[in-house]
């Protein structure tokens, strides 16, 4: 069978460097499958009607042939023309029927003959679909990992914020402790100074004690080493030693806090 008209141009029409998928897509877009289906439906109905009519005509011809065989020689001459006409009409109908079926076949054959092979396009699409599925799976895994990283980063950020708050709180506590110690020391110093002042005033006013030189009552040197302690009365020396020890004790900040 010869190639239908235009079929030889198939290779030239689809020999471009376009991808197989685009070639197949362009062909079926121009083919208009829905329109061709309607045409094929009409042709199918017509072919079915022709087949039914052909069967009816064959049965009529068979009956006419039986009558012709049973007829007498005189009647056969009359029936022969009618029978011959029936056969001629059936031949014409069969010719039209065959021509219609052939034209319908050649019409659809010519269009399908120009169609590109869909396998490369389908194989390419299938491969791309598989790669896309793998990429989607990898993308989901990466999203899960990214969410885990974000959660971990937020946790670390919260930890850093907590550390900064604790460091700031520690600094505040250290500052408060230092200020408190300073305040306690100042209070103790004032209290000790007032107590020493009261003691000196009592000593000055006491009639049981001899006159004490001002250099002893208000020493200008280190109070831990008074001048000539042997010349002082015994009770005054013990009292002065007690004051000296207390002054030395509270001069240490640690002892000040502990006694507070």
16-25, 43-52, 140-149: which has the minimum mean pLDDT? 16-25
Q: Find the mean pLDDT for residues 196-215.
A: 68
Instruction: Read off the pLDDT band of 144 (50, 70, 90).
Output: very high
The 10s digit of each residue's pLDDT in 63-117 is 888 888 887 887 777 788 888 888 888 898 889 888 998 998 898 888 888 888 8
Question: In this predicted structure, what is the pLDDT of residue 252?
Answer: 55
Q: What is the pLDDT of residue 228?
A: 45
pLDDT in tens, 148-174: 988 888 888 888 888 888 888 888 989
Q: Which two tokens stand for residue 92?
A: 């014409």
pLDDT range class, residue 254, cuts 50, 70, 90 = low
| Displacement of CA 216 from its chain's centroid (Å) | 88
* DSSP code for 209: S
Q: Quick check: 7 pLDDT over 70?
A: no
Q: pLDDT tens digits for 8-30? A: 455 555 555 667 778 888 888 88
pLDDT confidence bin for 140, thresholds 50/70/90 = very high
Assign 5 to helix, strand or coil.
Answer: coil
Within 10 A of 188 (CB to CB), how many other CB atoms are there? Answer: 19
Q: Give the pLDDT score at 251.
A: 54
The per-residue pLDDT for range 210-252, each reduced to its tens digit, is 555 544 444 444 444 444 444 444 555 555 556 556 555 555 5
Crossing angle of the two packed helices 118-205 and 234-250, in degrees rounded to 10: 170
Residue in the structure block whose two tokens are 């974000």: 150
What crossing angle do the helices spanning 33-70 and 20-31 adopt, rounded to 10°?
Answer: 60
Q: What pLDDT was estimated at residue 207?
A: 60
pTM above threshold 0.85: no
Query: Are the C-beta atoms of residues 124 and 20 closer than 8 Å to each other?
Result: yes
- Average pLDDT on 198-208 reads 75
């Amino acid at each position: 069978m010869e190639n239908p008209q235009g079929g030889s141009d198939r290779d030239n029409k689809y020999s471009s460097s376009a991808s197989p998928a685009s070639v197949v897509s362009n062909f079926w877009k121009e083919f208009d499958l829905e329109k061709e289906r309607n045409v094929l439906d009409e042709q199918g109905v017509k072919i079915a009607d022709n087949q039914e009519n052909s069967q009816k005509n064959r049965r009529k011809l068979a009956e006419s042939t039986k009558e012709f065989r049973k007829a007498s020689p005189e009647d056969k001459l009359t029936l022969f023309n009618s029978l011959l006409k029936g056969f001629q009409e059936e031949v014409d109908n069969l010719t039209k029927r065959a021509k219609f079926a052939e034209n319908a076949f050649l019409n659809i054959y010519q269009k399908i003959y120009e169609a590109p092979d869909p396998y490369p396009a389908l194989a390419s699409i299938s491969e791309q679909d598989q790669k896309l599925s793998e990429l989607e799976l990898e993308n989901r895994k990466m999203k899960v990992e990214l969410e885990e990283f974000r959660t971990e980063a937020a946790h670390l950020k919260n930890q850093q914020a907590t550390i900064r708050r604790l460091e700031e709180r520690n600094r505040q506590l250290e500052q408060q402790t230092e200020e408190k110690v300073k305040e306690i020391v100042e209070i103790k110093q004032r209290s000790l100074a007032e107590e020493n002042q009261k003691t000196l005033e009592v000593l000055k006013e006491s009639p049981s004690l001899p006159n004490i030189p001002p250099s002893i009552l208000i020493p200008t040197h280190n109070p831990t080493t008074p001048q000539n302690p042997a010349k002082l009365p015994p009770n005054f020396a013990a009292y002065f030693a007690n004051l000296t020890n207390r002054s030395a004790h509270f001069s240490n900040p640690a002892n000040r806090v502990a006694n507070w």
